[in-house]
Amino acid sequence: MFGAFELGIEFFEGLVAIDEAIVERAAQEPCRECGGPLYRGDHARKPRGGLLGRAAEAFSRRFSLCCGRNGCRVRAMPPSVRFLGRRVYVGAVVVLASAVALAATTVGAAVRTTGVPARTTRRWLRWWRGPFKMTSPFVALSARLVPAPEPGRIPSSLLERLGVGPAAIAQLLVWLAPLTTTSCPDGSRLVRGLM
């Protein structure tokens, strides 16, 4: 199902555009601590793309906001479709490499296809099968997708329900975006209607 392909620069430019829209929405809200205005305070990241998303390494800015009121300076990190929380690899690679690891016949085949170490994909698969199933995005996706995704085959079963290809990966990343931050409560409202 998941052949060897690479996510190109156009795919990641589309994700940057979605992240820009999210940060613009978040900047319109006041600081959650003092009610002051929020200003851009982006910072550098060193994203990895493995063999699947080399183009992602060119987009190394994580969009962030900072309170502009003197003495407050609280940071607000809006949800992101490019970065899946604090993981070093970009979100699209986490999703796709996990799906490839599930479909591969051997561990070596998955590593050769994705360029992601086997230990890393095993850790991601434990997350998909454990803590991820307790999140509100998973509950929402399970309710919307009929039949419900197979718990032992996540994220492959999610991608199969959304369709195959870069558009399905982007759609899944939009659904996962609220998981990418803890500093924006109810981050799902910032990503509604973006895809």
How would residue 194 be classed by pLDDT, with cut points 50, 70 and 90? low
Helices and strands counted in the chain (H then E): 8, 5
pTM beyond 0.85, yes or no: yes
**Residues 42-92: tens digit of each pLDDT:** 999 999 998 888 899 899 899 999 998 988 888 889 999 999 988 899 999
The pLDDT value recorded for residue 1 is 46
d(CA 71, CA 53): 40
In the predicted structure, residue 4 carries a pLDDT above the cut 70: no
Tally the C-alpha atoms within 13 A of residue 58's C-alpha that lie toward its C-beta. 12
- Residues shown for the chain: 195
* C-beta separation of 101 from 161 below 8 A: no
CA-based nearest residue to 53, from 122, 125, 5, 100: 5
Kindly provide the b/e burial profile for residues 3-19, where b requires at least 16 CB atoms within 10 angstroms of the residue's own CB: eeeebeeebbeebbebb
CA–CA distances in Å: residue 153 to residues 24, 101, 177: 35, 10, 20
Q: Please give the pLDDT value at position 185.
A: 67
Q: Is the pLDDT of residue 32 over 90?
A: no
Q: How far apart are CA 2 and CA 182, in angstroms?
A: 32
pLDDT of residue 23: 93
Task: Round the average pLDDT of the chain to a whole number and report it.
Answer: 88
Beta strand spans in 38-102 (E): 38-40, 43-44, 61-62, 65-67, 75-76
Tens of pLDDT, residues 101-129:
998 888 899 999 999 999 999 999 999 99
The residue whose two tokens read 């300076």 is: 73
If one counts every other C-beta atom within 10 angstroms of the C-beta of residue 160, the result is 16
